[in-house]
Amino acid sequence: MASISLLEASVTILCFLILFYLRFKKHRGRFLRNWPVLRMLPGLLVALQYRIYDYSVKILEIFDLTFLFKGPPFAGMDMLVTVDPANIHHIMSSNFSNYIKGSDFQDVFDVFGDGIITTDSELWKNLRKSYQAMLHHQDFQRFSMSTMTSKLKDGLLPLLNHFAEEGTIVDLQDVFGRLTFDTILILITGSDPKSLSIEMHEDELAKALNDVGEGVFYRHVKPKFLWKLQNWMGLGQEKKMIEASATFDRVCAKYISAKREEINSSQGILDTSDGVTEDLLTSFMKLDTTKYKLLNPSDDKFLRDTILAFILAGRDTTASALSWFFWLLSENPHVVAKIRQEIISTDLPRTGNGQENLDKMVYLHGALCEAMRLYPPVAFERKSSIEPDVLPSGHKVDANSKIIICLYALGRMRAVWGEDALQFKPERWITENGGLKHEPSFKFLAFNAGPRTCLGKQLAMTQMKIVVVEILQNYDIKVIKGQKIEPVLGFILSMKHGLRVTITQRCSV
């Protein structure tokens, strides 16, 4: 009898979803309806088949920047979605202590362990202090700059020259992903995976990261009991998550073992002043535990989680930003002309990058910010409340409430950015005097806000500027007509189908 009842219930739900789908197709512009039992879940499932990010823009405009999503009872899917800058400032800064990642967040991102991205409270504070000391150390700053320039000279430019000579159609997003993957692995481990090559071989760690990005998104839109059950049974997307976690363990163990051997074999030779050496893995292995109050920083799990945290922060985010930026340039050739003119007027050398003058390129900086406003590398932020609260918008928040900040929709809100919010306008970031216009982080959230502001912001901006300058100085990029450009459903806002382009070398001036 139980199996018959389950079958009947399943058929009923399936018929309901089919009828809802047909109705939704006819009335797509309507907001999510709160149905009996299933509540708003059917609308969410159908919206996933369309452009859900653009749909979220419509919903949040209708509901004045904040919307309460109701899932089925006991499914753990209720969430408050907001893009109200006052709410964001309240959550991320003024009442920061009440809004944490929380246990649900750590469950969703469990494959990344206990790195800085997934942790809260004292552990997060101590991790951040240690990360900040290493990233801002002069030795690491020099190491990161030399790594980026050598990767451009020996990796990116030869590869683009090859594509230009062969007249090959290439996925520029894939190229940027390989560039940032190689660069961040060198900075973390000192080892170059050399995925940026003519052979374009697939790296198992990079593939695992791609699988996890998609899996994390679907964990947000599925009832927790369902994806937990799929994980336990090793089914569907959860099977990929399990395999990706095993890949993380195996590959990180290899890097950790190799680094230990390197340190042991060079004892007394490496400069360990201030506990900071060139790559981050070495620095963490030599970390002063009493100074940063971290337990067992040389422990394999700690090091594995640290490696993944840095990769997650520095690989796909920058590649995504660069990919959308070059697509927007293809749609706005006048912006390309202005950036090239700025390169000339700033007197940047044609080769060698001229990093010391990059900060003078106000228009380029504004153009990059404008691209990340419309296409933020991280699609959404997730928080959980500790105590009940009332947001500036007047919405009540219960303890343990799930709050989603949709960065994609935030950048498109006319109430936040004006009637021209959907337009790509680098001038938006430039003052009347020609300087950079500051926008508060709770309005422009690409690098997070408040105490969790991205520690690698300056590093990422510098890397993107160097890449853009090198490419625009030396190449013309033409996007292939007719391809479908849309964001993938994932934690990182990558292009679903990549960015297919042809590359032509520019004549020397």
Residues making up the binding site for heme = 454
Give me 419's structure tokens.
């009637």
Q: How many CA atoms lie within 13 A of 248 on its CB side?
A: 27
- In the three-class reduction of DSSP (H, G, I as helix; E, B as strand; rest coil), residue 109 is classed as coil
Give CA–CA dist 45/94, Å, rounded. Answer: 35
Distance of alpha carbon 83 from the chain centroid: 18
Query: What's the Cα-to-Cα distance from 163 to each of 156, 175, 467, 482, rounded to whole Å?
Result: 11, 11, 17, 21
60 with 66: CB under 8 angstroms? yes
Q: Which residues of 266-282 are buried (b: 16+ CB within 10 A; e: fewer)?
A: eeeeeeeeebbbbbbbb
Q: Angle formed by the axes of helices 333-345 and 316-331, to 10°?
A: 110
Give CA–CA dist 281/257, Å, rounded. Answer: 11
What's the farthest any 2 CA atoms get from each other in the chain?
A: 81
The H or E element spanning position 23 is helix 2-26
Q: Is the dihedral of CA 480, 499, 460, 252 positive or negative?
A: negative
Q: What is the number of helices (H) and of strands (E) in the chain?
A: 21, 10
Give CA–CA dist 238/408, Å, rounded. Answer: 26
Query: What's the Cα-to-Cα distance from 425 to each of 274, 346, 430, 507, rounded to whole Å?
Result: 44, 21, 10, 29
The H or E element spanning position 381 is strand 380-385
Give CA–CA dist 426/369, Å, rounded. Answer: 8
Give CA–CA dist 322/177, Å, rounded. Answer: 9
- In the three-class reduction of DSSP (H, G, I as helix; E, B as strand; rest coil), residue 288 is classed as coil
Give me 504's structure tokens.
């032509």
Annotated binding site: 454
Give CA–CA dist 316/194, Å, rounded. Answer: 16
